[in-house]
Amino acid sequence: DQQVKQNSPSLSVQEGRISILNCDYTNSMFDYFLWYKKYPAEGPTFLISISSIKDKNEDGRFTVFLNKSAKHLSLHIVPSQPGDSAVYFCALPGMRFGAGTRLTVKP
């Protein structure tokens, strides 16, 4: 059973614009969420997290929004840069990862 879903396998945006990556989860008991970033042939690296007591967490160009009623997370990258091109994974407690969204930022 897929407890976390990233329905967009890929996203392409222009440099300088906003990138929005989405994640949906099924279990309302989850209270902590993480995003990881992965470059080809490398392991993922932790990017940003959010606790369910918040609806927003910001770290530089990266902001994660949490909508608990909709069981939905989104990661916003503003402004997007070519170096942000990578696969982004949404992760839940219990070592559960989404399928990932491949972001391509075009110069």
Interaction site with another protein (CB under 8 A):
4, 6, 9, 31-32, 34, 36, 41-46, 49, 51, 89, 93-100
Q: Which is nearer to another protein, 33 or 85 (CB)?
A: 33
Q: How far apart are alpha carbons 105 and 94 in whole angstroms?
A: 31
2: left (phi over 0), alpha (psi -120 to 50) or beta: beta
Question: Closer to another protein at the Cβ: 8 or 79?
Answer: 8
User: Which element (helix H / strand E) includes 102?
Assistant: strand 101-106
Q: How far is the CB of 87 from another protein (least distance, A)?
A: 10
Collapsed DSSP state (helix, strand, coil) of residue 84: helix
| Minimum gap (Å) between residue 106 Cβ and another protein | 22
Nearest distance in Å: CB 10, another protein: 10
Integer-rounded Cα Rg, in Å, for the chain is 13
- CB of 4 or CB of 13, closer to another protein: 4
